[in-house]
């Protein structure tokens, strides 16, 4: 079968023109199917849902029937563009101006998906259309939302079909300042909670007849933020707890409220798990509370800390990056969560994509030169992996 090479900038432009704001498919998965199916990939488009959530369509594509099996993972869903009038270039136009590609998802992460597609087509074209092993694409439409109908279910669906993966490259925007400076080899976990203080409602002119929960909220918030959760370690930054909202719901100023609430998020390293972290926070709150009436509403979490062990796959990817970019990438576990937290249960996973400085911003963009370079890195990884 004859395989044509592809221009990563043109592919990225076409993907950006698909308005795939979560959970809308927006034509992005159809575009990928149209690229991969003619060159011999077996394509599956699978929709998952559960009560209370929107259905999400996902794509799994594979060529080859033997090992080793390398997977390119990613997502085509994007966050909303916000007020489009503030964009210099329309968010779904995929405009190239002055050597820069603009659009929602340019770096997070349709650009990397396009580079993986282009590199794969190039690799197959050089080998008569057949890989020396198997190459797959695991693409979700649910990463930017609650992530319950995307990668986590697609992986389970694939495993139940007998699919087994050896290694995975996830194209999240891992680089900090320049392409080639960072590989994500793990992530901290994430846990959300709401601190609830119960008081007694009353008139502000008679505070002795009431119990102002705001006082207790301030005291316990301070106690939870004052002492560090840990000092971190060689692989992870310290864990941190940050309050992100205070909600009292009081529309007037002459009423002491009966309840005050504050939401928080904890990003935690491998000193903790979900259970031990909840115990630690509740112990600290209890110690500081005295007579304050409080409780914490914990939210379910599917994000635990993880890190990839040193080994040949990290060496292979690092070597490809250095050969193409001239940079020796830093191995990092910083940043937020990603779908790597699900993939790591099935195979070793590394994150390497574009530079993330404009992700989720107005006028999200990437230099065209970075698309060309990332494609070359992915091509070098494929050539090394299947040598």
Catalytic residue positions, numbered: 77, 143
How far apart are alpha carbons 156 and 61 in whole angstroms? 15
CB contact set of 232 (below 8 Å; sequence gap of 6+): 238, 239, 269
Q: Are 201 and 258 in contact (CB under 8 A)?
A: yes
Report how far residue 295's alpha carbon sits from residue 363's, in angstroms, rounded to the nearest whole number. Answer: 42
User: What is the C-alpha to C-alpha distance for residues 217 and 195, in angstroms, rounded to an integer?
Assistant: 8
Residues 292-308: b if buried by 16+ CB within 10 A, e if exposed: bebeeeeeebebbbbbb
Residues near 97 by Cβ (< 8 Å), separated by ≥ 6? 89
| Strand positions, DSSP E, 112-232 | 134-140, 167-170, 182-184, 186-187, 189-198, 202-203
Residue 377 is given by DSSP the state H
End-to-end CA distance of the chain: 21
78 HSE (CA, 13 A, CB side): 30
Strand order in the sheet with 42-48: 42-48, 56-63, 134-140, 69-75, 167-170, 349-351, 182-184, 330-332
| Residue 9, SS3 per DSSP | helix
Q: Which residues pair with 197 in a beta bridge?
A: 260, 294
Of 259, 141, 276, 112, the residue nearest 194 (C-alpha):
259
Q: Where are the beta strands (DSSP E) in the chain?
A: 42-48, 56-63, 69-75, 96-97, 100-102, 134-140, 167-170, 182-184, 186-187, 189-198, 202-203, 240-247, 255-256, 259-268, 293-298, 306-307, 330-332, 349-351, 365-367
């Amino acid at each position: 079968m004859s395989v044509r090479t592809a221009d990563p900038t043109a592919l990225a432009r076409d993907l950006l023109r698909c308005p795939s704001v979560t959970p809308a498919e927006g034509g992005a998965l159809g575009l990928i199917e149209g690229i991969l199916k003619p060159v011999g990939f077996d394509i599956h488009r699978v929709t998952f849902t559960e009560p209370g959530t929107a259905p999400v369509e996902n794509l799994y594509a594979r060529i080859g029937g033997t090992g080793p099996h390398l997977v390119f993972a990613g997502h085509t869903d994007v966050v909303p563009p916000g007020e489009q009038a503030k964009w210099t270039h329309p968010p779904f136009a995929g405009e190239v101006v002055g050597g820069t590609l603009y659009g929602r998802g340019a770096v997070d992460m349709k650009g990397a998906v396009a580079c993986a597609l282009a590199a794969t087509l190039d690799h197959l074209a050089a080998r008569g259309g057949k890989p020396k092993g198997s190459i797959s694409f695991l693409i979700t439409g649910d990463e930017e939302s609650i992530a319950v109908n995307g990668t986590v279910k697609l992986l389970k669906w694939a495993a139940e079909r007998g699919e087994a993966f050896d290694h995975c490259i996830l194209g999240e925007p891992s680089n900090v300042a320049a392409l080639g400076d960072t590989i994500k080899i793990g992530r901290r976990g994430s846990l959300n909670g709401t601190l609830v203080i119960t008081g007694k409602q009353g008139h502000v002119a008679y505070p002795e007849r009431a119990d102002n929960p705001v006082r207790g909220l301030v005291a316990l918030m301070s106690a939870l933020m004052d002492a560090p959760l840990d000092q971190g370690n060689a692989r992870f930054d310290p864990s941190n707890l940050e309050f992100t909202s205070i909600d009292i719901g009081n529309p007037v100023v002459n009423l002491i409220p009966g309840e005050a609430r504050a939401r928080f998020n904890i990003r935690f390293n491998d000193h903790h798990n979900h259970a031990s972290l909840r115990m630690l926070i509740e112990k600290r709150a209890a110690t500081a509370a005295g007579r304050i009436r409080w409780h914490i509403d914990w939210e379910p979490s599917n994000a635990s800390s993880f890190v990839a062990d040193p080994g040949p796959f990290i060496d292979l990817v690092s070597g490809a990056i250095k050969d193409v970019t001239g940079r020796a990438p830093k191995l990092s576990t910083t940043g937020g969560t990603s779908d790597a937290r699900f993939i790591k249960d099935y195979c070793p996973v590394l994150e390497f994509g574009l530079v993330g400085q404009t992700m989720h911003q107005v006028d999200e963009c990437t230099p065209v030169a970075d698309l060309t370079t990332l494609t070359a890195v992915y091509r070098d990884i494929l050539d090394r992996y299947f040598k």
